[in-house]
Chain A
Amino acid sequence: MASAFEYAPAPESRSVVDIAPSYGLFIDGEFTEAADGKVFKTVSPSTEEVLSEVAQAGAEDVDRAVRAARKAFQKWSALPGAERAKYLFRIARIIQERSRELAVLETLDNGKPIKETRDADLPLVAAHFFYYAGWADKLDHAGFGANPRPLGVAGQVIPWNFPLLMLAWKIAPALATGNTVVLKPAETTPLSALFFADICRQAGLPKGVVNILPGYGDAGAALVAHPDVNKVAFTGSTAVGKEIARTVAGSRKKLTLELGGKGANIVFDDAPIDQAVEGIVNGIFFNQGQVCCAGSRLLVQESIQDELLDSLKRRLSTLRLGDPMDKNTDIGAINSAEQLARITSLVEQGEAQGAERWSPACELPAAGYWFAPTLFTNVTQAHTIARDEIFGPVLSVLTFRTPDEAVAKANNTPYGLSAGIWTEKGSRILAVANKLRAGVVWSNTFNKFDPTSPFGGYKESGFGREGGRHGLEAYLDV
């Protein structure tokens, strides 16, 4: 909206983080070059500035890291739980101390707004380590029988949308339960994982317990296929998840997968409408919609469609897109040119298939990867944009007439990760939540996360849960 009250730029200081011109792999407690000497550049998606050059792990490095993790496993798993706990508490505390530095780093490398890294990512990262630290000496009481044993070496592959948070979701429970870790961050966002390696050193974590291997898909594939890995944990696309499931088939490797989604955000006619609008916005524009549990399908009761869409469009017009380092930015950059191309292509398909596209007036920066907040109306279940995960700031609006129809449409997808329900009627919330085939149901809220709250999908959104007591199971031989 046009306003006399223009916010002056309020950039977060970049000086709190010192990014080195190059980084190595982190294996057995040391930073090291890749065996074949390969490196790759990591760029800031909001400016395309090269931030650093990072060693690129290959199969040989994977083997080296798995051997280091195997060697470290014996002592680490034999440590009293209380001692493992203290290492994790140390890590949690150092993350809290360095949280502004890490938030800035994450914003630079990922493109998401500093407001989110500062207020969401980093607090959740620290909380996750704090939560699982407390489990390390209480596993006998976790409901998996007496003295549950760790699995061994965990091979973990994480995505670029929440680089440090996904690392926390993987590493914290793995270490608490006595496993050692080889983790591959995404190729577009390797830096925060490498800073985490430094935090492990500051915390005095024994060598080899955590190994970080920046690299591409080939390194991830080598890691999950490595015969001496006992546990594979992956967060990413459903296509890759299926490939990993095939790879580990017939082995004894325990597998957990957190994959894609096409979450339905269902708004009934008696919803608290202003909060529903906020929830819809949060559901699809948080992290530029690059969220597996995004509420990417808005299912609105036909009787309030016009009113809700008016409110929603008005609200979208106030979203502030631009420099992710500006503290007032709501929408940052798309993580990569590749992701931008995918979003663009799906949006073009949406238009070609007859859905009606709308975006608020929104100026996109010249450099970097950007996509304006986008809303599609006149969408049906048959449209590609109602079925495929777009993983971008694009909302598909569908309507329904009755609760039955809402549930049927919400469940009409191979995915089953998240869903939202907006109504003031308590019994309707419970009835609809009961029928939704989704691992996380947010009622009268959306995109809330907590280390104590299990997270994970039904159907093709993957299996296993991260967070809470449930999250321990993935790393225990039970």
Chain B
Amino acid sequence: MYSRYARRYARLVTMPTSAPAALADVTASDSTLRRFLHGLPGVDAVGLEARAASLGTRSIKTTAKAYAIDLAISMVDLTTLEGADTPGKVRALGAKAVHPDPTDASTPSTAAVCVYPDMVAAAKAAVAGSGVKVASVATAFPAGRAALAVKLADVADAVAAGADEIDMVIDRGAFLAGDYMKVYDEITAVKEACGTSARLKVIFETGELSTYDNIRRASWLGMLAGADFIKTSTGKVAVNATPANTLLMLEAVRDFRAQTGVQVGVKPAGGIRTTKDAIKFLVLVNETVGADWLDNHWFRFGASSLLNDLLMQRQKLATGRYSGPDYVTVD
């Protein structure tokens, strides 16, 4: 199904996108989409948070911890999203992503570096040949308050500069106003702008959607519109990724695959700073969606300071000594 935006910006279209066949009729109209989203099972907040907290008590030790730390490092989208970003800063970030621990070559690379669109070229150069992806936040990140044409141009810039992944933000205003079709059409348009070369992460800014019911609806909306990843947050608001909202999104991708056969990734972002936190998220993945998602193709951490804590914990496991900040790099 071509959206009206897709037709308007036909020059950007490289492939048609559509809701998976099993759910094709859901997006046939405003009202079918609304009925579908409002027909999703409700979420009991206390029960959801209790389940997330309960999984948070898993005790991950020794070999399991070593596995989890390396897995977590490999899932990091190492991020810099500052007004003060420069090519120099981005080069340093890229170097760190490729070799997170210069003292230990066995340390895996991170999944990606994540930068603004104008830094994509610099990032691409910095990670060239490494397998580390370049992700770029586009669509007038973080607020998303711009005309669609501007957003699509933003995406096109990043893709043209070689971005492997686009992290878009949805129009929370439209979502909260109940204009689900507008949100859907924007996502499909951006998806089309990503072409075949870039995977699309759709950021909901869960902290602004406010309720768990909204987060579940947004997850399905994003997946229906062709998201390759659904992502919690921009990292720019008060509440970002939490175990509970990530668990809820994991349930959504699990159920979506069961219904459509299409697997979608999940990326919690913002606020995950410690190894202990990261491992809790991996436990959520492990016990909610299982091994199929325990891979950086399907699960990411949007983070910056997390990486150094993972590296220090990794060093501790290797040497038996607690490490310190002077033994990891500040980039």
Contacts and interface: CB of A to CB of B under 8 A. Distances in A.
Given A7-B58, A272-B41, A278 B47 contact: yes
Interface string A266-288: 00001111110011000000000
- Among B43, B44, B290, residue most surrounded by chain A Cβ atoms (within 10 Å): B44
Interface string A426-459: 0000000000000000001100000000000000
B58 A2 contact: no
A300 to B, nearest CB: 14
A53 interface: no
A424 B47 CA distance: 13
A444 to B, nearest CB: 5
Overall SS of chain B's interface: helix
Contacts of A270: 41-42
Given A3-B290, A119-B57, A8 B64 contact: yes
Given A5-B282, A115-B57, A279-B47, A424 B42 contact: yes
B41 A274 contact: yes
A445 B48 CA distance: 11
Nearest to B291: A3
B246 to A, nearest CB: 13
Contacts of B64: 5-8
Contacts, number: 78
- Among A7, A115, A273, A444, residue most surrounded by chain B Cβ atoms (within 10 Å): A7
A10 interface: yes
Interface in B33-65: 41-44, 46-48, 50-51, 57-65
Contacts of B121: none
- Among B47, B64, B65, residue most surrounded by chain A Cβ atoms (within 10 Å): B47
B251 interface: yes
Interface in A321-364: 327-328
A4 interface: yes
A27 to B, nearest CB: 40
Interface in B194-244: none
- Among B48, B61, B251, residue most surrounded by chain A Cβ atoms (within 10 Å): B61
B51 A278 contact: yes
A10 B61 contact: yes
Contact of B67 (A5, A115, A271, A318): A5
A1 interface: yes
A10 B59 contact: yes
A296 B71 CA distance: 39
Contacts of A119: 57
B287 interface: yes
Nearest to B289: A1
B95 interface: no
A272 B44 contact: yes
A326 B320 CA distance: 23
Contact of A4 (B43, B59, B291): B291
A7 B251 CA distance: 21
Overall SS of chain A's interface: loop
Interface string A246-274: 00000000000000000000000011111
A328 B291 CA distance: 18
A328 B63 CA distance: 15
Contacts of A275: 43-44, 47-48, 51
Nearest to B288: A318
Contacts of B291: 1-5
A370 B238 CA distance: 47
A78 B16 CA distance: 85
A279 B48 CA distance: 11
A10 B61 CA distance: 6
A248 B48 CA distance: 47
A275 B46 CA distance: 9
Contacts of B57: 115, 119, 327
Interface in A1-55: 1-10
Interface residues of A, number: 26
Contacts of A424: 42
Contacts of B286: 3, 5
Contacts of A2: 290-291
Contact of A7 (B41, B42, B51, B60): B60
B269 interface: no
A48 B167 CA distance: 56
A2 B294 CA distance: 11
A272 B50 CA distance: 14
Contacts of A274: 41, 43, 47-48, 51, 251
A8 B71 contact: no
B71 A5 contact: yes
B68 interface: yes
Contacts of B51: 274-275, 278
B150 to A, nearest CB: 38
Contacts of B47: 272, 274-275, 278-279, 444-445
A278 to B, nearest CB: 5
Interface in B292-308: 294
A328 B290 contact: no
A5 B42 contact: no
Contacts of B287: 318
- Among A274, A279, A318, residue most surrounded by chain B Cβ atoms (within 10 Å): A274
Given A10-B59, A272-B43, A5 B50 contact: no
B241 to A, nearest CB: 19
A399 B67 CA distance: 43
B254 to A, nearest CB: 9
B46 A1 contact: no
Contacts of A7: 58-61, 64
A34 B321 CA distance: 54
Contacts of B41: 270-274
Contacts of A4: 67, 291, 294
A11 to B, nearest CB: 9
A320 to B, nearest CB: 9
A127 to B, nearest CB: 18
Contacts of B44: 272, 275, 444-445
Interface of A: 1-10, 115, 119, 270-275, 278-279, 318, 327-328, 424, 444-445
7 contacts: A5-B282, A7-B59, A10-B60, A272-B42, A272-B47, A279-B47, A444-B44
Interface of B: 41-44, 46-48, 50-51, 57-65, 67-68, 71, 251, 282-283, 286-287, 290-291, 294
Given A5-B64, A5-B294, 17 more contacts: A1-B291, A2-B291, A3-B286, A3-B290, A3-B294, A5-B67, A7-B59, A8-B60, A8-B64, A270-B41, A271-B42, A274-B48, A275-B51, A278-B47, A327-B58, A444-B46, A445-B44
